[in-house]
Every structure is written in C-alpha cells, then in structure tokens.
A = this chain, B = another copy of it.
C-alpha cells in the first residue's frame, strides 16, 4: 500500500503527519490532541510523546489558512521616531499581546499614497486588523478606510460621519488649555510653532490657537506664528525664524519634538526659559520630562488613545457587525518648569542674545 503523502518533507521538519505516523494514529486524532480537544488518555499520551520526540511545532501559516486569521495586528503611524507614537505603540502592544496576538508596525512617513497603498494591501489578509493614525486624510483615503476588507480603527480626527471606529482627542481644546495657562500667568505675546497646516492636527491646532487668542481678546499677530513640520529640526528652525522678527514672551508648540527644537533655539538665542519665554509643548511625551528645564506639555492621552483603539479593534474583530464607535480622550495640561507661574521679569542689562533683538511687538 503506497502511502498517499510524504510523511517527512524534504525540509526535514516534522508535520502533523510525522507525529501521527509516529504515534500510530490518524492526523485528525493527532491534531485534536495537539489542540487539546478530545482524545482518549492513551491516544493523548502517544501523540504527546511523539510530538515531543520529533520536536513538533505547528506551522502557523497553514493554521492561518485554515482558521482565516493570522493573529497579527498592524499599526501604521507617520514617524516611528516620534516618542508620542512610541508611547501609543507601547499601550497598543500591551493590549494586543494580552490577547495573544502580535503587533506589526509600519512607518508611513506621512505620505498619503503610502498609507492608502497599505490599506489596499490589507486585502491580502495578512493581518487581522489595523490601527492607523493618519495625519492627512483625503477622500480617496477615506473610501479606502470605509471599504477596508479587514477591521480598521482610526486614531485621530476623521470626517464626522465616517462609519469607522475612531478614537480621537480634542487638540483644539488642548491648545486652548495651553493658551489659557499662559495668559493666566501673565503672558501676552504668545507665539505658536505649528506643523503643516494641510495636516489634520496642524489645522486643528491652528484653529485652536486663533480661537483662544480671540477669546482672551488678544489681537492676532501673524509674526508670532510659524509653521514647519512635526520634527525637532523644523521646530528649531521655525523658532529661529520667529525669534528673528518677533519677541514672544511665551511659545506654544504643536508637539513635543517641536518644543524641544524651540527650547534649543531659545537657549541658543540667550533667552531664559521660563523667565523670558515660557514654553509649552504638546503630547506630554517622556521627552518633555527629559529636558532642562522640564517642559510643560498638553497631554493628549496618547497611551490612553492607543489602549482604547486596540480594544475597539479587538471588539470589532470578535464581532464585525458592531455599529461603529467613537471615543474621545480629553486633553489635559501638565505644568512643569518651562512655564512655571512666574511673571516675566525684565531682562538683565545688555542684550544677552546673539540675534539682534528685533523691534518687537508691544504687549
């Protein structure tokens, strides 16, 4: 009787056929025992022994093909180097791991085509679900999200009526918290270093800044607003440009990387922080605590958002028929040394700055 199939692949690695043959049972029985479902005590003993002898490890791919799930969750963020995403990733990883799955991380570089390509590629079923935190959203993008073949959860703002699981924060309000705090501690010439205005967070933070100033009756001074991207180097360069033409007594930065760049530029320019210029960042990453002075920062609850996004995703994977849910994590301000509640004191005699002190803006 010719056996129907090779027991031992050329590879040499044992399969369920190998252990079944060795245990003298069928592959069905072997599989059942290995999965802990059914089997007589004797069968269990034989199969376990055989599996141990040959060092059997089930092939995850074959299992995935059968079960239609891979146990992988994808996370797509713009910049893996930004500590805010590291924090978010850690929180997501904890949830994902506790469900016995693994996390696959993609860095999109903020390029939208990259991101839509990633979404389309989901159709190949390599992951069970995806968490994506887009900073730019187009219609094309949105439609790719809506008819995604696998569950997707979005971290960040999205069109109000998009039927997609979504956890967001209110960064407009976050900027307002920062401005309120600065105004309350006597600052008036409040500058703003933002990221690109064609991004969702950039636009929201810009709107929030303008609204907050208006609410406090402070006239908007375009000279006090600068735009770069959400990186350290851009934040530093933008702040240098701003300092070259204006004389802020406070600076709000659209994220912590920018704030660190701003701090560097301020110190290089001889400004004291917080005495001359108060500084508030955003995202409240560990970076803010690493600086000297430690940076005040608006927490947007990145870890919490990550945790919730992961939970939403797991729920949706478990039950695809759930109605889309939307959760909101409120921002909160963490005050540290960089904006300690001291009123600005007059500069010591002589311009300590290397840049010529511009004629400035009257308070």
Show the binding face of A for B, using Cβ within 8 Å: 11, 13, 55, 57-62, 64-65, 68, 70, 72, 80-81, 83, 86-87, 89-90, 93, 102-107, 120-121, 123-126, 149, 232, 260-261, 263-264, 267-268, 286, 289-292
Contacts A107-B93, A290-B264; A65 near B57 (Cβ below 8 A): no
A123, A286, A289 pick with most chain B CB within 10 angstroms: A123
| Neighbouring B residues of A83 by C-beta, 8 Å | 81
Query: Shortest CB–CB separation between residue A35 and chain B, in angstroms?
Result: 14
A105 to B76, CA, bound (A): 13
Contacts A80-B86, A104-B102, A149-B13; A290 near B260 (Cβ below 8 A): yes
| Neighbouring B residues of A102 by C-beta, 8 Å | 104, 106
Query: Shortest CB–CB separation between residue A202 and chain B, in angstroms?
Result: 21
A59 contacts B290, C-beta separation under 8 Å: no
B268 contacts A60, C-beta separation under 8 Å: no
A83 to B83, CA, bound (A): 9
A59 contacts B292, C-beta separation under 8 Å: no
Contacts A290-B260, A292-B268; A57 near B13 (Cβ below 8 A): no
Neighbour of A61 across the interface among B61, B89, B104, B292, CB < 8 A: B61
A89 to B268, CA, bound (A): 31
List 9 A–B pairs whose Cβ atoms lie within 8 Å, in order of A's numbering. A11-B68, A72-B104, A81-B87, A81-B286, A93-B107, A105-B105, A232-B289, A264-B291, A264-B292
Looking across the interface, which residue of chain B has its beta carbon closest to that of A93? B107
| Neighbouring B residues of A65 by C-beta, 8 Å | 61-62, 65
A62 to B68, CA, bound (A): 10
A58 contacts B124, C-beta separation under 8 Å: yes
CB-based closest 10 A-B pairs: A57-B123, A60-B124, A60-B126, A267-B292, A81-B86, A61-B64, A61-B65, A105-B105, A264-B292, A104-B104
Neighbour of A105 across the interface among B55, B70, B81, B103, CB < 8 A: B103
A80 contacts B70, C-beta separation under 8 Å: no
Query: Shortest CB–CB separation between residue A51 and chain B, in angstroms?
Result: 12
| Neighbouring B residues of A261 by C-beta, 8 Å | 290
Query: Shortest CB–CB separation between residue A12 and chain B, in angstroms?
Result: 10
B125 contacts A286, C-beta separation under 8 Å: no
A61 to B263, CA, bound (A): 49
A61 to B71, CA, bound (A): 12
A81 contacts B70, C-beta separation under 8 Å: no
B125 contacts A232, C-beta separation under 8 Å: no
Looking across the interface, which residue of chain B has its beta carbon closest to that of A149? B13
A87 to B107, CA, bound (A): 13
| Neighbouring B residues of A120 by C-beta, 8 Å | 57
Looking across the interface, which residue of chain B has its beta carbon closest to that of A89? B80
